[in-house]
Amino acid sequence: EEVDAFLSEKGIIFTPYFIAKGSTGLEFNFDFQIAGRKEEIVLKVFPNLNKSQLVSFLFSWEDIKPSREKIGNKNLRGLAVVNDIEKTVKKEYLDAFDVKGTGVLPWSKRHDAETIHLLEAV
């Protein structure tokens, strides 16, 4: 709910409860999708990130990326919205997002100009 309100407040047009089919034929749920002319972002919100959720997100993002890019003829980015206010996020988790090419939006930095630009740049 907080992410929905934040995106709305910033005037970002999004689709909630986005479902996409991957190259494996499996369908995956993402909390939000932001679509632009040349780029698309799928967001998954993690109130309390754990290793299992991390692995699931990375697999689902990597599975849908080729098919979404082919269908839409645009770049797809994955973005994990991570609550870092109430609990510190393990560095190894943040590194895993980076290694797999997804972005991380720490909830504590949601109002930073760089974060806003990242979301509006689509």
Give 1's pLDDT tier (boundaries 50, 70, 90): confident
On the question of pLDDT at 121 being above 80, the answer is: no
Residue 102 CB partners (closer than 8 Å, separation 6+): 57, 58, 61, 77, 78, 79, 80
- What is the reported pTM? 0.91
Q: What is the CA radius of gyration of the chain?
A: 14
Three-state DSSP at 88 gives coil
Per-residue confidence (pLDDT) for residue 86, from 0 to 100:
84
pLDDT at 92: 95
Check whether 17 has a pLDDT greater than 90.
yes
Of 5, 9, 68, 50, whose CA–CA distance to 31 is shortest?
5
The gap between the terminal CA atoms of the chain, to the nearest Å, is 22
For 110, phi and psi rounded to 5 degrees? -65, -25
